A and B are shown apart, each in its own frame.
Chain A
Amino acid sequence: MSQACPVSLRLSIALISAGALAYELLLMRWFSMIQWHHFAFMIISLALLGFGASGTFLSLLADRLQRRFSVAMIVNLLLFAASSISAIALAQRIPFNAEEFIWNWRQSIYLLLVYLTLMCPFFFAANGIALSFLKYTQSIASIYAADLLGAGIGSFGIVILLFYIFPESAVLAVSISGVLAAALAWWALQRESIGWLIAIGMVGCFLCVVPQSWVLPHYSPYKGLSQALRIPGNRIIYESSSPLGRVSVVESGITPIRHAPGLSLNASGEIPEQLAVYIDADRLSVINRVDDPGEQDWLDQTTSALPYHFKHVDQALIPGAGTGTDVLRALHHSAGRLDAIELNPAIVDLLQDRYAAFSGNLYYRNNVSIQITDARGFAATQTAKYDLIQLAMLDSMSGSAGLHALGENYLYTVESLRTFLSRLAPDGYLALTLWTKIPPRDSLKMFAMAIRALKELGVEYPGRQLILIRSWQTSTLIVKNGAIADREIDRTLSFCDERSFDPVYFPGIRAEQTNRRNQVLEDYFFLGTQALLGARASAFQRDYKFNILPATDDQPYFSDFFKWRSLPEIIDSLDSGGISLLESGYLILVATFAQAILVSMVLILLPLRLVRKRSPEIPGKKPQPRIFAYFFALGLGFMFLEIALMQKFILFLHHPLYAVTAILSAILIFAGIGSRWSQRFDSAKSRFAAVARSSTAIIVLGGIFIVALNPLFVKLIALPQIAKIPIAVLLVAPLGFFLGVPFPVGLSAVAAETPSLVAWAWGINGCASVISAILATLLAVQFGFTWLMVLALLLYAFAALCFPALSP
């Protein structure tokens, strides 16, 4: 009979769990800075890989470590503290370059090294938690509760912390959490040994004097900021950091910054003095020096300027206003009142504070109202009607060939277009400017989305309300709230003619009017728009070799153009110029998935073989397949639900950061409470009842979410943010509570029957979580979040069916 787990040790577990989760979120932030954001997927699986590896490790060495439990515990917690700093310092010195991956086999070795380095802190943290499970088998539920509560607090805490300190300082804070956890473990287990206290103190002191240079971010040399800083005279004059990204402002000393994407080849006007603003060392935008907006003629030389040539704009909405170039364009064209919306307060702060005078007090003008919020939420709650709503280049960046494919974008969905269209005044325009790709992808997908949005709003002939033009670099789609008039077609033709742009579509366009100034061999822009408006639109979308089906709120992946069918042809052409056709973001995820499966299999199967050899207690007719199925299904199901809910709540909370923090923290904290509650079930019968009832509750609550969440959001959308966050937390709380039950109850059942398989079961769950983090996105891209939730609920039902074998 094992003893009960001391309170201070449970506190230690909560702290190490908080540290590990904070470290995971911190690494996601870190790799978005130094590499690109698709690393986020890899980081999630890394964390869980560390947990899976820990399960394997403990399966093999559990007996030895159990005998020296106190020492093993303290050492693992200290190793977490030390490795959390050293892993970052080492990993970012490995010359991994994602873009070179296809060309250079060495990159796969570098990637593996990055993996192995970064999984270490998670491995040590997981060891600490799992060793406690093994030691205190009677307290599994309360240990798991401490683990989940800690994780919830850690995820919430790091986001708050990142608003106040730079990531490099946050790394230190996370590592100190490991030292404090070790100190608590010492208090619980080794109070009489002063030697260990001195050791803990020394590690703490060492961490405090680690040179800052160890943890300064080393940006990839291929990122925009790195390239900009190589130009003589360029220097960073200001930096700020928040969970939304690191903002770097670059001033040019010698060579002016001249950022004017989509500028006409015929442009003659001077580009004003600019300051470059990088977010996460990439995603360049500029602050323009403004003396008189009327003098900024260059702003009229891009495709985005077209709607201003139709009529005077009295009231405009500019979502994603950023550093203000589109606001400036509107002012240049003497627009009346402007509502500018920006999600990132750090960007608005630049224009309202430090560089307000440089920007001509753009965001302080009487006719400009800047709002820090989500544009879609803002539009949904407004009663004002706009003459123009302009969304310019808020999609993927130009040169990244699919690397942004898997970032969800709720502004570019059919439902979002419908919201914006419903805010247009009669004869108002929705103008969407996108990067132009060859062969066309973005512009055709957006065209298809506009057609569907108009149809859903009851428009019988969408083609009468659309205009599409393009330069070699950008295309602008105009969706009018009313039929396009002849006068607007004439203006479009003269606008294109003067700037060497090409019309792609307007009502009644003829083939000979297109593809004149920016020629492509076969004009799939024209052909595509005609096909999408015709009776065979579905066949065209089916036969097109890129995915140009409309993005929806359920599958909000506008920049995903990948089709499996095209892959063999594209792979054949990789050497001969076909590399840009490869929508690599999706494939990187598939590769990460394959890698995760491979590693997970090794981690699951290898220890089982070894444990079987050594443990006579495992009966001949073994329950292992059921144990495997139970913990694997729970690992998949938990993450599927968590990810699907985080996505669903982005629409309600209007910000991915709020959604991730609120939902992740709420699920983890309430699951922790559920886990603590489940401790009362200590007989085989009561355990089965607990699992059956909690699984039923999860399925019922999940089912209600699937059916009722969207209508509920529509009703509550106008509430202030301060009210919406607690509502979101309360909504997921019951589900979170029940999600906390099946795992500790299952683990207690295994501990009662076959204790040697506890670490293995813990490892299986970890491995399933590795796979599910990636699989969830792959499934959501293909089938949508609703189906992901349905699948999660089925997995919980399946797990409940497997349970009896755990506790025969």
Chain B
Amino acid sequence: MNPTMFARPVSLLLIAWIWSFPAAIRSDDSTDSRDQMILEIERDVRETSRYLDQEVLSDAVLEALRKVPRHRFVPAAQLEWAYENRPLPIGYGQTISQPYIVAIMTDLLKLRPDHRVLEIGTGSGYQAAVLSEIVAQVYTIEIVEGLADGARERIQNLGYERIHTRTGDGYFGWKSEAPFDAIVVTAAASHVPPPLVQQLKPGGRMIIPVGSRFMVQQLLLVQKDLDGLVTTRQILPVRFVPLTGNHS
């Protein structure tokens, strides 16, 4: 029997098998997947524009999402879903947030290229990577050692030099680098830590997703005005009017 009789179909099968690998593994496909993910996010933002106070995400945020290889921030077991619009478990009882939530959280901070941002809860490092594509410096603190080590290595390997990492308690912020133009708090806390409010510049913004690991219930935007007065905005990141009819 001629072995080449089998070689061709076997090699074809092999190629087909390789191609059936999760799209995110190959970088060219990951770019397509990312574009697809961004299209979805843009659609969702348009639909919820009334509640987010804007029709579209800023170009800077979209560009950042397009640049950051999300598949490098998710565990191997979750690769096939890396570019789906959903949260994913990353071990240690933590998650990498839903891309749509990352996008609007980043956008709500109204970041500028000269800004310095503090992040409490590095997690996988994805949010920090997105922030670093927009601003001058990102300072990120993670308390869980395993996560902090993993994120630090990932950030170094991907060459994000503007991200500064630290392992430890985020409650008191990063005093030596304060004040910050923006703060992102993704670590669970029973309240907004007052030291973080103090480390926010006048005119600065802090964003906190409230809810459980897989379900963001609302986004809390803490704003400090130029006089230092603090207010919050509670944003439901979805198009939903809780009442039908006219009751006003």
* Known contacts A438-B236, A517-B232; is-contact A103 B242 (Cβ 8 Å): no
Q: Give which listed residue, B143, B194, B233, B239, contacts A265 with CB less than 8 A.
A: B194
- In angstroms, Cα B101 to Cα A259, docked, is 26
Q: Decide if A266 touches B230 in the complex (CB within 8 Å).
A: yes
Q: Which residue of B lies closest to A98 (CB)?
A: B214
Report chain A residues within 8 Å CB of B234.
438, 472, 518-520
Report chain A residues within 8 Å CB of B210.
398-399, 473
Q: Decide if B190 touches A543 in the complex (CB within 8 Å).
A: no
Q: Decide if B93 touches A227 in the complex (CB within 8 Å).
A: yes
Q: Decide if B51 touches A473 in the complex (CB within 8 Å).
A: no
Q: Decide if A401 touches B220 in the complex (CB within 8 Å).
A: no
Please choose the segment from B15-23, B68-76, B84-92, B126-134 that sits at the chain A interface, where 4 or more of its residues have CB less than 8 A away. Answer: B84-92
Please choose the segment from B40-48, B108-116, B153-161, B178-186 that sits at the chain A interface, where 4 or more of its residues have CB less than 8 A away. Answer: B40-48
- In angstroms, Cα B213 to Cα A401, docked, is 11
Q: Decide if A545 touches B44 in the complex (CB within 8 Å).
A: no
Residue total for A at the interface (Cβ-Cβ under 8 A): 66
- In angstroms, Cα B195 to Cα A263, docked, is 13
Report chain A residues within 8 Å CB of B135.
none
B217 contacts the other chain (CB 8 A): yes
* Known contacts A439-B242, A539-B247; is-contact A99 B144 (Cβ 8 Å): no
Q: Decide if A254 touches B169 in the complex (CB within 8 Å).
A: yes
Q: Give which listed residue, B47, B214, B239, contacts A103 with CB less than 8 A.
A: B214
B197 contacts the other chain (CB 8 A): yes
Nearest CB of A to B191, in Å: 4
Q: Decide if B247 touches A577 in the complex (CB within 8 Å).
A: no
Q: Decide if A545 touches B242 in the complex (CB within 8 Å).
A: yes
B216 contacts the other chain (CB 8 A): yes
B14 contacts the other chain (CB 8 A): no
Q: Decide if A262 touches B238 in the complex (CB within 8 Å).
A: no
Using an 8 Å CB-CB cutoff, how does the interface string of A103-144 with B read, 1 for contact, 0 for none?
A: 110000000000000000000000000000000000000000
Q: Which residue of B lies closest to A99 (CB)?
A: B214
* Known contacts A260-B191, A268-B194; is-contact A524 B40 (Cβ 8 Å): no
Q: Restricting to A375-429, which residues have a CB under 8 Å from any CB of B?
A: 398-401
Q: Decide if B93 touches A518 in the complex (CB within 8 Å).
A: no
Q: Decide if B101 touches A577 in the complex (CB within 8 Å).
A: yes
Q: Give which listed residue, A438, A440, A575, contacts B85 with CB less than 8 A.
A: A575
Report chain A residues within 8 Å CB of B47.
576
- In angstroms, Cα B51 to Cα A531, docked, is 23
Residue total for B at the interface (Cβ-Cβ under 8 A): 63
- In angstroms, Cα B91 to Cα A399, docked, is 19
- In angstroms, Cα B224 to Cα A265, docked, is 11
Q: Give which listed residue, A258, A399, A543, A546, contacts B212 with CB less than 8 A.
A: A399
Report chain A residues within 8 Å CB of B190.
258-261, 263, 284
* Known contacts A103-B214, A259-B190, A570-B240; is-contact A97 B89 (Cβ 8 Å): yes
Report chain A residues within 8 Å CB of B211.
399, 401, 580
Nearest CB of B to A342, in Å: 21
B243 contacts the other chain (CB 8 A): yes
Q: Decide if A545 touches B217 in the complex (CB within 8 Å).
A: no
A578 contacts the other chain (CB 8 A): yes
Q: Restricting to A710-733, which residues have a CB under 8 Å from any CB of B?
A: none
A579 contacts the other chain (CB 8 A): yes
Q: Give which listed residue, A227, A262, A546, A578, contacts B242 with CB less than 8 A.
A: A546
Nearest CB of A to B176, in Å: 19
Instruction: Give the interface centre of A255, A524, A544, A575 by most chain B CB atoms within 10 Å.
Output: A575
Report chain B residues within 8 Å CB of A256.
171
Report chain B residues within 8 Å CB of A61.
none
* Known contacts A255-B143, A267-B194; is-contact A581 B89 (Cβ 8 Å): no
Q: Which residue of A lies closest to B239 (CB)?
A: A573
* Known contacts A399-B211, A399-B212, A438-B236; is-contact A577 B48 (Cβ 8 Å): yes
Using an 8 Å CB-CB cutoff, how does the interface string of B139-154 with A read, 1 for contact, 0 for none?
A: 0000111100000000
Q: Decide if B145 touches A439 in the complex (CB within 8 Å).
A: no
Q: Which residue of B lies closest to A399 (CB)?
A: B212
Q: Decide if B238 touches A578 in the complex (CB within 8 Å).
A: yes
Report chain B residues within 8 Å CB of A231.
143-144
Nearest CB of B to A296, in Å: 15
Q: Decide if A524 touches B89 in the complex (CB within 8 Å).
A: no
Report chain A residues within 8 Å CB of B91.
221
* Known contacts A255-B169, A265-B197, A580-B217; is-contact A472 B237 (Cβ 8 Å): no
A624 contacts the other chain (CB 8 A): no
Report chain B residues within 8 Å CB of A579.
214-216
- In angstroms, Cα B245 to Cα A569, docked, is 16
- In angstroms, Cα B188 to Cα A223, docked, is 12
Closest 5 pairs between A and B when the two form their complex, measured CB to CB: A221-B93, A577-B237, A576-B44, A263-B191, A580-B217
18 further A-B pairs in the complex, CB-CB below 8 A; given A222-B93, A222-B212, A399-B210: A99-B212, A220-B93, A255-B168, A263-B192, A263-B194, A437-B217, A438-B234, A439-B242, A544-B243, A545-B240, A546-B242, A573-B238, A576-B44, A576-B48, A576-B237, A577-B48, A578-B238, A580-B217
Residues of B within 8 A of A (CB): 40, 43-44, 47-48, 50-51, 81, 85-87, 89, 91-93, 98, 100-101, 104, 143-146, 168-169, 171, 188-194, 197, 210-218, 220, 222, 230-245, 247-248
Interface pairs (14), CB distance under 8 Å: A221-B92, A222-B93, A226-B93, A230-B146, A263-B191, A266-B230, A437-B217, A517-B232, A518-B233, A527-B248, A531-B247, A539-B245, A545-B241, A577-B98
